[in-house]
Amino acid sequence: MAQDKKMVQDITSMDVDFAQWYTDIVKKAELIEYTSVKGCMVIRPYGYAIWENIQKILDGMFKETGHENVCMPMFIPESLLNKEKDHVEGFAPEVAWVTMGGNEKLEERLCVRPTSETLFCEHFANVVHSYRDLPKLYNQWVSVVRWEKTTRPFLRSREFLWQEGHTLHATPEEAQAETEQMLNIYAKFCEEELAMPVVKGRKTESDKFAGAVATYAIEALMHDGKALQAGTSHYFGDGFARAFDIQFTDKDNKKVYPHQTSWGMTTRLIGAIIMTHGDNNGLVLPPAVAPTQIVIIPVAQHKEGVLEKAAELRDRLKKAGFRVKLDDSNNSAGWKFSEYEMKGVPLRLEIGPRDIEANQCVLAKRYNGEKITVSLDELEAAAAKAMTEIRDGMYAKALENRANRTHVCTTVDEIKACIAENGDGFIEAMWCGEEECEDKVKELTGVGSRCIPLVQKHHSDVCVCCGKPAKHMVLWAVAY
Amino acid sequence: MAQDKKMVQDITSMDVDFAQWYTDIVKKAELIEYTSVKGCMVIRPYGYAIWENIQKILDGMFKETGHENVCMPMFIPESLLNKEKDHVEGFAPEVAWVTMGGNEKLEERLCVRPTSETLFCEHFANVVHSYRDLPKLYNQWVSVVRWEKTTRPFLRSREFLWQEGHTLHATPEEAQAETEQMLNIYAKFCEEELAMPVVKGRKTESDKFAGAVATYAIEALMHDGKALQAGTSHYFGDGFARAFDIQFTDKDNKKVYPHQTSWGMTTRLIGAIIMTHGDNNGLVLPPAVAPTQIVIIPVAQHKEGVLEKAAELRDRLKKAGFRVKLDDSNNSAGWKFSEYEMKGVPLRLEIGPRDIEANQCVLAKRYNGEKITVSLDELEAAAAKAMTEIRDGMYAKALENRANRTHVCTTVDEIKACIAENGDGFIEAMWCGEEECEDKVKELTGVGSRCIPLVQKHHSDVCVCCGKPAKHMVLWAVAY
């Protein structure tokens, strides 16, 4: 039990130092390890297994909606990056440049992709000729590089893993529908699979993706009241098509420009999971992406029959489709409890001699500590029911946290007072649509516009800043 | 039917120009597209789907044998690459160097990983302390970059996709066993799943991986008689561990160096599939990795009930677990036949009004053109049987091709005469073990040592080159 306490004490409390609490979890739950490559990290097996589960579910959702995976080069020649003006302005300052191949200086330097619009555009120009070639619904799972100054594991690193969807359509309506479809898929994934509530919205002009006509995003609220952008979906119109001369012959035999989208989600989601569900005992993982969904801990495992029964239950649960681990190591049961709490395993199954005698076991839910005793005859059904309850309970808890930290303000002074009283959180306030007011709110209060929620509320007739007629309700927050 | 002929004529015959035949297939079967990034390519949906199937099967085999996936950074600081002398000498001349981040010159340049031994070693040094931490059985699915002068799609490109396994063990015996296990898994995968016969062997000293104690490889023979290395597995001893100061405390509480392996397979396998099974009508895919296993082509599809029945068969076959496509487009049946022959779909199902009346359909095997008529009542079983027959038939055909192109020689003059008479192929000949003779054989005949097969044969007592006592039978060939 001494070991037990040590484990728990090893994590800084989130109320004492939220940033340190986060760093403790990513290290001690063995999600990542630092490297000598500044701003880059090793994603360790436990962290990578979460990403693999995210990939598997999202990839299935993409394929169900007709998308195909491809793989583009990781390098972009400088001249190709330069083709779309807004795009290059947005990305050039933060790319890594390859200037040497072996011992020779390259004639043209290449950047390591920060995103792949330019490569997809070049490819589309090569392979799209007729309306029969459309739509192109492509995605790729790769890593990208952005030369960030300050980095944090999962949240902001110089290299990160992501998927980037790139689609090409005959009409603006189809492209717009695709942009919205992918935003909805992202929201559904976050809410149903990660048990993480999100707000769907449109970014303001100043916060759009470099080269986009419109950027949509889903915004989640972390434990500390800061917002985290969990996914983005961009509508490009025909801007890239014009810059890259992508044209197709339509049904009337006319050459026209197609319309385009792109959308992405990243390993940032793992950071979002940690800061939405984690607690002072460690990680709390949603069942859908947990590498281990059920950990079996034998009690008094030296007693005859305990390990055999534990192994039998493991095999039964595996057969029923759960990801199960039996820890039959010599560590104490107390140490094991702490260890798998730290690792966020959704459900713990305890089985000891008295349980076996009574043909039962104990199931303990990680997210709220609830323990129930179930008959071994109904184990599979009880575990399935628990998984659903855990996902629903985690979602409700996160939703309640968000509600408690969401406030309506109608003046800049109210925003200041609200933050002083409640700390960080979402602030709903009306906005006139002028960038000047957006900047001023940020300057005066520290909160920036996260998005214009698709579901609007009317809190006032006038802008929170200038008092002129309001155009939109905006969600404001300090963001990761 | 005019279109039909056009398709076939579009591929250069492999007897006329094998290299052009290969290039025609990768382009016309829509596996890749060239880009403005020299030596890099776009892997298109049909090509990438083959890679996804390869990944899925191999990844399952790795996990079954206890391996875990991780993800290392794509960059290696120059000082880290320099730590192991042989390794840096082997790779430094062919890496891409990042020298700028945004607008700033980096203090230390970073290479884009050509392989990740150095990163894994740094990580192992950080996380391995005790014998309890061993073994570490890691793998990653990433792309790597080698600045090649001449490139060919899949076979040799500046960036390619691969998996790289890296494992760390307490004893040399365990590491050696791992090296052999992975070679066996690679061979099994190639033979059973890709229907591609391979020879397992050890590389000669001159052909070892940079930094390895021993390199093992599987070698396959292509249609044109050239050899292709399809996978490698390296035993490192404790050389890297010493260079990177990886030590652990053993059971006797002593600090000792662990022993290491690495092993890899790449998108090259797709090139191997093309050149092992392809023919003058296009690609021929083994069922295990074919994106579409069965294509359904309705005959006289305008006739009542044909498309409905075709859709019904598609749904039945999908439900039975096959990857199925129904082509109900307006293209002629002849055009469709050519198209899916080009794309190498293993099995074609033809269904027309007369078939429906007779409650039957026609199944045509891509690899040998064999057609059978089967009752619709037994469709699923017939398709499953056909898949097994196709894999077995493809393997037997490739094995026969290899046998026809494998020759035994006992002198250098015999090798010259053999090549003059039979063209390229595998040559089995004895070798004394001296690098001088290895070089001389290559210089005089053009064939290099591919490997020392694990299953040895005794063709002569003396070296094919110098006449001194022979140590090994070597497999010689011109290689990709």
pLDDT (average), residues A277-300: 97
Helix, strand, coil percent content, chain A, rounded in steps of 5: 40, 30, 30
For residue B467, what are the CA distances in angstroms to B50, B431, B437, B451?
47, 9, 10, 20
Report the distance separating Cα B197 and Cα B191, nearest Å. Answer: 5
Residues of A in contact with B97 (CB under 8 A): 98-101
CA of B69 vs chain A CAs: smallest distance (Å):
6
Do B100 and A100 lie within an 8 Å CB cutoff?
Answer: no
Segment B99-151, tens digit of pLDDT: 999 999 999 999 999 999 999 999 999 999 999 999 999 999 999 999 998 99
- Entry pTM: 0.96
Segment A393-422, tens digit of pLDDT: 999 999 999 999 999 999 999 999 999 999
CA of B126 vs chain A CAs: smallest distance (Å):
8
B36 touches chain A (CB under 8 A): yes
Segment B255-296, tens digit of pLDDT: 999 999 999 999 999 999 999 999 999 999 999 999 999 999
Query: Cα A321–A326–A332 angle (5° rounding)?
Result: 155
User: Model ipTM?
Assistant: 0.95
Do B98 and A97 lie within an 8 Å CB cutoff?
Answer: yes
DSSP secondary structure code for residue A37 in this structure: S
Measured between CB atoms, which of B37, B80, B98 is closest to A73? B37
Measured between CB atoms, which of A36, A70, A109 is closest to B44? A70
Helix (H), strand (E) at residue B262: strand B259-266
For residue B85, what are the CA distances in angstroms to B88, B90, B148, B167, B205?
6, 9, 21, 20, 16
Residues of B in contact with A48 (CB under 8 A): 68-71
A32: helix, coil or strand? Answer: strand
B433: helix, coil or strand? Answer: coil
Tokens matching residue A362: 């104990």
Q: What is the pLDDT of residue B5?
A: 43
Residues of A in contact with B150 (CB under 8 A): none
Which ranges of A65-202 would DSSP assign to H, the alpha helix? 78-81, 85-91, 117-127, 172-188
CB A113 within 8 A of CB A119: yes
- Listed by number, the residues of chain B in 76-115 with a beta carbon closer than 8 Å to a beta carbon of chain A are 76-77, 80, 92-103, 109-110, 112
A244 touches chain B (CB under 8 A): no
Q: Which residue matches tokens 């790289």?
A: B164
B72 touches chain A (CB under 8 A): yes
CB A308 within 8 A of CB A302: no
Count of A-B CB contacts under 8 Å: 151
CB A172 within 8 A of CB A237: yes
CB A292 within 8 A of CB A45: no
pLDDT (average), residues A378-385: 98
Report the distance separating Cα B175 and Cα A182, nearest Å. Answer: 46
- Listed by number, the residues of chain A in 138-157 with a beta carbon closer than 8 Å to a beta carbon of chain B are 138, 142-143, 145, 147
Do A97 and B95 lie within an 8 Å CB cutoff?
Answer: no
Segment B408-467, tens digit of pLDDT: 999 999 999 999 999 999 999 999 999 999 999 999 999 999 999 999 999 999 999 999
DSSP secondary structure code for residue B184 in this structure: H
Measured between CB atoms, which of B35, B69, B95 is closest to A73? B35
